[in-house]
Amino acid sequence: MCSETVHLPIVKTAVWPDEAATQRFAAALAASPELRNAFIELRGDLGAGKTTLVRHLLRALGVQGRIKSPTYAVVESYELPDLAVWHFDFYRFSDPQEWEDAGFRDIFASPGLKLAEWPDKAAGHLPIADLVVQLALQDDTARQVTLTAQTLTGLLLIQDVDSIVPTPTHGQEAISLENLPTPSASRASA
């Protein structure tokens, strides 16, 4: 039975067995129209694959040349013909004044794609993320993934990715998205 109400957050778990699976997820995400105005948090320990996922995503979006990790600069920005992208790494973010001085408030008020590693370090400044991607090492190449949609945009992102590359689900914890209503009315007006 389809219900009219979607209760957020929606959580989906998966396993990406190797980096190629991470790349396929990134390519599917890049193909979603919802990505054009989304905020995605990347969570997980050092080496989990946050920057790797962002690199594959930026490549799929058409970014050429070197893609630097913003660990030192805190943010790297990319101007694509029809899309502005900001890749944050808040690992070294500590000065609240920097939020204003560096124009981060303005960035989050602008249309475009915002990606943030280590969002907890900027807690209190960041808006609620549309999608949280939590990565955990399973072995050298496999990653356990938890996708949490916290907004309608996030839900549509998960649904879009799922329709392009059904992510291999992870045991019993997987939550089926099949029976969720597609909020087509909101989508058409978005």
Q: Which residues bind Mg ion (CB under 5 A)?
A: 50-51, 117
Pairing of strands 83-89, 10-16: unpaired
Q: What is the DSSP letter of 127?
A: P
Which one, 25 or 104, has the nearer CB to ligand ADP?
A: 25
Which of 163, 170, 162, 156 is closest to 37 using CA atoms?
156
Task: Name the one residue in this structure whose structure tokens are 């979006």.
Answer: 61
All residues at 6 or more sequence positions from 70 whose CB lies less than 8 Å from its CB, including other chains: 76, 87, 88, 89, 117
Residue 18 engages ligand ADP in binding (rule: CB under 6 A): yes
- Among positions 105-164, residues that touch ligand ADP (CB under 6 A) are 117, 141, 143
Which of 151, 147, 161, 158 is closest to 186 using CA atoms?
151
Which one, 114 or 143, has the nearer CB to ligand ADP?
A: 143
Evaluate whether 95 touches 123 at the Cβ level (below 8 Å): no
* Residue 56 near which of Mg ion, ligand ADP, none (CB within 5-8 Å, type-dependent): none
Minimum distance from residue 47 beta carbon to ligand ADP (Å): 5
* Residue 148 near which of ligand ADP, Mg ion, none (CB within 5-8 Å, type-dependent): none
Minimum distance from residue 43 beta carbon to ligand ADP (Å): 9
Which one, 19 or 183, has the nearer CB to ligand ADP?
A: 19
Chain positions contacting ligand ADP, by CB under 6 A: 16, 18-19, 22, 44, 46-52, 117, 141, 143
